[in-house]
Chains A and B, each alone.
Chain A
């Protein structure tokens, strides 16, 4: 399998502070790669570099063989990578249908149409309904986004990213703010949706180790700006030192609680 996204020796410095110190990783078609690490490890910086939001101090990021360092979110969307954020990002006064249509229109060649009503564009409408159906939002199409439940807002946020028909999607803690009972349901939903929508790879930034264990095909652990481990889940969780380094505090606390 060929690598869709490749990062080579990525470094990012902010003044004297080194946020990332030589990260190399690649993500191939069909993979769901989880990026894990303690707070302040450099996950967010890595993700910002991988999505072309920030240029690296040194090193390269290639997506489908092309350099995407610092290209910015708009070009990223055009090239086929989407990103959903940890905090819910929606358009409060737009309906669900309008929100999804924003993405559908921008990735088609219709963004520069000034006089054709969006509402009457049957191709756009069909695609909007299709995407909404994948996420179970088809009954809420005419609901204003701000009136949705928190879980639905999250779904809409992710659905609109899917509406770009991306090849790679980056999910930054997709289940944050979702009750623990619903986390698996949401994750299952997203992974299924990705398969249906033809998404080739998913990058997941996640704190919940249950989710990471269940859905990842590979886990990349980051610590102090470096790759600590890059392994399949079974190998990752088999190594107590690494698990301790990443989720150490919580494991200890849980152990104390049990004792």
Chain B
């Protein structure tokens, strides 16, 4: 059973790698944001699921990734996606640290409201400083190079569903592995301890605020990487990315997938993107149905889809004669 997560991950990655030969180009363009959100939410859930701090402002860090990519590619002429990812992530962490220093003193609703406020602050900055940010139209994102290759022979869609898609799958694999190691390290253990009982963990020598700060910074790093992928996919960084409803969507996806499970955020990202796309095709009241689904899920399966799968898996194992 202990090898199960590793096997599951490998199967999932192989499946992701095989998708381009199974799905239409349009469907693959849907998988791309799912990959981006999966990465962002892995980081988000280190803070939400593991540390117990629910942020309503993490779209801020996603938009730093997106705007960073836009500025670097179209204004500064930097094309290497590796360099872009690194710079965006570092910028995101740099913004996250002062916000975290202030916010991690609080928990629950106070933490949530503070992060929401910072998110709104950034949104109005993007909106009002037209000269720097392009206001409501945002900034165009030019196609980056991947490991030094420009793929000039490919048109936009072919680039996205081809090399860029595989690049993102590999990124998810690497960042997923790093996150897996993080949550199972002494650091991860201490994070959970601070979530479960702050006072007790302090008396056991756990530096609560410092570890929360690190968790916050790591989550900002992951969100920026996700934002950079989103920006390349849409070719545009716009202020909607920083709006609080986008932060809400991050929470929605994580809850949908299950924040108590390591894979929950990944499951949540994929289910949300496909659910949204299906519902939008069926009805113009898709937001209503999304909300209804979340309500049902929270009431009936508070551990999310991943929790539901885990439960079914356990039941299946128990009923199989050995």
Residues of A participating in the B interface, judged by any CB pair closer than 8 Å: 72-74, 76-78, 82-83, 85, 89-94, 98-99, 101-103, 105-107, 110-119, 157, 160-161, 163-164
Which of the listed residues B182, B185, B186, B204 has the most CB atoms from chain A within 10 Å of its own CB?
Answer: B204
17 A-B pairs within 8 Å (CB atoms) are namely A73-B199, A74-B208, A76-B203, A82-B203, A90-B200, A91-B197, A106-B206, A111-B190, A112-B186, A114-B186, A117-B184, A118-B184, A118-B185, A118-B189, A119-B184, A163-B204, A164-B204
Contacts of A82 in B (CB 8 A): 203
**Neighbour of A78 across the interface among B185, B199, B205, CB < 8 A:** B205
B182: nearest residue on chain A (CB-CB)? A114
Q: Which residue of the partner chain, among B181, B187, B204, contacts A160 with CB atoms under 8 Å?
A: B204
Interface size in chain B (residues, C-beta < 8 A): 24
Contacting residue for B186 out of A74, A93, A118, CB 8 A: A118
Other than the given A102-B204, A111-B206, 6 more pairs (CB < 8 A) read A74-B205, A90-B197, A102-B190, A102-B201, A111-B190, A115-B185
How far does the alpha carbon of A111 sit from the alpha carbon of B207 in the complex, in Å? 9
Separation of A72 and B202 alpha carbons in the complex (Å): 9
Among residues of A, the one whose C-beta sits closest to the C-beta of B192 is: A94
A77's contact among B181, B189, B192, B203, by CB below 8 Å, is which?
A: B203
Contacts of A113 in B (CB 8 A): 185-187
- Does B241 sit within 8 A of A, measured CB to CB? no
Complex contacts, B188 vs chain A, CB 8 Å: 118
Q: How far is the CA of A114 from the CA of B206 in the complex (A)?
A: 14
In the complex, the chain A residue whose C-beta lies closest to that of B189 is A118
Complex contact B204–A161 (CB within 8 A): yes
Contact check, A102 vs B193: say whether CB atoms are below 8 A apart.
yes
Picked from A90, A101, A114, A161, the residue with its CB within 8 Å of the CB of B187 is A114
Q: Given the complex of chains A and B, what is the CA–CA distance between A156 and B192 in angstroms?
A: 17
- Whether B181 pairs with A74 at a CB distance below 8 angstroms is no
Q: A105 touches which one: B190, B196, B200, B203 (CB < 8 A)?
A: B190
Q: Within B162-187, which residues are at the interface with A (CB < 8 Å)?
A: 178, 181-182, 184-187
Nearest CB on B from A164, distance (A): 6
The chain B residue with its CB closest to the CB of A101 is B189
Contacts of A94 in B (CB 8 A): 192-193, 196
Q: Report how far A89 CA is from B200 CA in the complex, Å.
A: 6
| Shortest distance between the CB of B37 and any CB in chain A (Å) | 24
Interface residue ranges of B124-161 to A (CB < 8 Å): none
A102 with B206, Cβ < 8 A, contacts A89-B199, A94-B196 known: yes
